[in-house]
Structure 1
Amino acid sequence: MRQIWKSFRALYFASLMMLIGSGLLSTYLALRLAADHVDSLWVGALMAANYFGLVLGGKIGHRLIARVGHIRAYATCAGIVGAAVLGHGLINWLPAWIVLRMIVGLGMMCQYMVIESWLNEQADAKQRGVVFSGYMIASYLGLVLGQLILVMHPQLGLELLMLVALCFALCLVP
């Protein structure tokens, strides 16, 4: 087990950072819209846009990976996601937020595809379950930690969006 952890810790760290950012962003946006007394239809549209982006990302991400390779696709999408996150702080117009949220979902799906294909290629058949359980632990831990940041920093200021963008920048390090 320790050998598996050592072999895949960079990918686990990248997943952790990406999901800390995702967990924080999803909760931040919902709380921010609730604090601004935005109609629930807009809140639902914003959350649905993320999932629409995930669906689009499955198609576009596959083509992007085939065209430029795993590393470039991952780096490109992490950069685009970070820029889209910062765009939420620059623009305070809900239709633009919906587009930005869709871009975040699209980019994250490509990142998921790259990480999971790397894990799948590098793990032999006998260890694949253990390897992917480590990935799932990192993923769920990231979602929890992202939401816990809001407990420690309950103000819904722009610094939280910067922290999300920082997480997406750090997921590039490994």
Structure 2
Amino acid sequence: MLANFASVFSLMLSTFLMMVAFGLQSYVIPVRSVAESWSTLTISIFATGYTLGFTLSCIVTPKFVLRVGHVRVFTALITLLSIAILMCGLVVDWRAWIGFRAISGFAIAGSYLVIESWLNERVTNENRGLLFSLYLITTMVGTIGGQYLVPLGDPSNTSLFILCGVLFSLALLPTALSSSPMPAPPARADFDIPALYRRSPVAVVGGFLAGALSGAWLNLGGVFTQKIGLSTGEGATLLASLLAGSAISQVPIGRASDRMDRRIVMVACGIAGVVSCLAMSVMIDSSPPVLYALAACIGTVLFPIYALNVAHANDLARPDEYVEISSGLMITYGLGTISGPLMVGPVMDRFGPVALFVALAVYFALYSGYAAWRILRREQHDGLVSKTDFQATTVMPTPGPDVTGPVSQQDAGDLIEDDTVPAWEEGAR
């Protein structure tokens, strides 16, 4: 076991440094935007550039990896991350930031792909859960730590932007200098979203709504903290509280969904999200500790719901289709992240910061309502569905080909040899 940890140490260190820079970047950008007196709609527009780049990277980065390998692609992507954030500090114009944020989104998604592909090469069925838990903890701690760097500097000048660029560059060193064997290039995976929808409507629609929820929060949550008058330290704590709530709830939600119809858990999570968001909107003038607690409650369902959709789609698939399903759902999720800030930003401009949580409550209601409707339309085929294990995801679901629904080789063999007609052939749920 110690040898397994040693083989991924440099990878984890690169991940940690990258996520510290990512956490710093994700908070300093909205803080600087508010300081520039840009409207929430304007912030939403260049936030959409980020999500467009992220979604595009899910499609094209594997092609680059196939051509030149993981390390060269990772080196190029980290360089792009450094360039993008440094240019944001150098050219403070929202029109230019659309392009810079698109570059950043493209590079961070590709970096996830390289790291997770490499990590999957190093794990076995026996230690996969443990090592990926370590990976999730590393990303969480790094992101939160980066957000707490903002109060140490002044977002109105270039110091924090330069620090972020330095941290991204440092993240390159451990992986570039690692002596671990390079991972094999990932297999190409096509995706067919209409076919995926016919197979599992609730997974596709739920994935889109999960993307809209996370896209709205990740791009406008920092704006919310500034609009209601929180200090940068208090704002960092609120953002960290939501992430902490997400980390705590992933396993309980996953275990519950493994024991019952996953759509029932989707309904419950949606209802919990509606209640938590409405509570936040009503108590927006409360003391910071109350807001932290409410943010943690929202976090318990905001990020984990995407993993429910992935697991549900994989329940209805053959083992050789997992990568294709993962790719299709990532594109659907990416489209949702594009729509989220574009839809919610103008509403915040019109009705104030409280509108963020009212809009999130609406998205949660749609998520829960659609899952409930699908339950009424199609009962679960308990005797036909062979469930995959639920697997927690990182804060921002990523395009790694093996992390969204791996099964053991024995499980895969059992599924292949099973003569039972797959549930998806009996009808979409």
When normalised by structure 2's length, the TM-score is: 0.39
- Equivalents in 2 of 1:35, 1:160: separation in Å? 14
Whether the aligned pair in 2 keeps the contact of 1:17 and 1:142 (CA below 8 Å) is yes
State the 1:5 CA deviation.
3.2
State the 1:3 CA deviation.
4.3
The code of the aligned residue for 1:41 comes to L
Higher relative contact order (CA 8 A, sep 6+): 1
- Equivalents in 2 of 1:131, 1:160: separation in Å? 32
Q: Who is 2:8 aligned against?
A: 8
Q: Who is 1:24 aligned against?
A: 24
Note the alpha carbon deviations across 1:101-150, whole angstroms, 9 max, x for none: 01001011111000000000111111111111111111111110110001
Tell me whether 1:58 sits opposite 2:80 in the alignment: no
Tell me whether 1:142 sits opposite 2:142 in the alignment: yes
Note the alpha carbon deviations across 1:4-63, whole angstroms, 9 max, x for none: 433211111111111111111111010011111111011112222222211111112111
Alignment map for 1:72-111 (pairs within 5 Å) = 72-111=72-111
Q: Who is 2:71 aligned against?
A: 71
Higher Cα Rg, which structure: 2
Q: Who is 1:47 aligned against?
A: 47
Alignment map for 1:151-162 (pairs within 5 Å) = 151-162=151-162
- Equivalents in 2 of 1:147, 1:38: separation in Å? 21
- Equivalents in 1 of 2:138, 2:166: separation in Å? 18
Listed as ranges, the gaps of 5+ residues in structure 1 are: none
The code of the aligned residue for 1:113 comes to L
- Equivalents in 2 of 1:143, 1:98: separation in Å? 23
Whether the aligned pair in 2 keeps the contact of 1:28 and 1:156 (CA below 8 Å) is no
- Equivalents in 2 of 1:155, 1:105: separation in Å? 21
When structure 1 is superposed on structure 2, of 148-157 and 56-65 the one drifting more is 148-157
Whether the aligned pair in 1 keeps the contact of 2:154 and 2:160 (CA below 8 Å) is no
SS in 1 for 2:125: coil
SS in 1 for 2:46: helix
Q: Who is 2:355 aligned against?
A: none
Q: Who is 1:163 aligned against?
A: 163
Listed as ranges, the gaps of 5+ residues in structure 2 are: 175-429
The code of the aligned residue for 1:7 comes to S
The code of the aligned residue for 1:106 comes to F
- Equivalents in 1 of 2:77, 2:8: separation in Å? 21
Q: Who is 1:130 aligned against?
A: 130
SS in 2 for 1:125: coil
SS in 2 for 1:124: coil
Q: Who is 2:36 aligned against?
A: 36
When structure 1 is superposed on structure 2, of 1-10 and 37-46 the one drifting more is 1-10
Whether the aligned pair in 2 keeps the contact of 1:22 and 1:143 (CA below 8 Å) is yes
- Equivalents in 1 of 2:154, 2:7: separation in Å? 37
- Equivalents in 2 of 1:154, 1:144: separation in Å? 18
Change in 2 beyond 3 A, CA 1:55/1:140: same
- Equivalents in 2 of 1:156, 1:2: separation in Å? 45
When structure 1 is superposed on structure 2, of 20-29 and 147-156 the one drifting more is 147-156
State the 1:68 CA deviation.
0.8
SS in 1 for 2:56: helix
- Equivalents in 1 of 2:11, 2:35: separation in Å? 36
**Percentage of identical aligned residues:** 29
- Equivalents in 2 of 1:126, 1:9: separation in Å? 18
State the 1:83 CA deviation.
0.9
State the 1:154 CA deviation.
4.6
Note the alpha carbon deviations across 1:60-109, whole angstroms, 9 max, x for none: 21111111100000001111111111111221221110110010010111
When normalised by structure 1's length, the TM-score is: 0.94
The code of the aligned residue for 1:13 comes to L
The code of the aligned residue for 2:107 comes to G
- Equivalents in 1 of 2:22, 2:156: separation in Å? 16
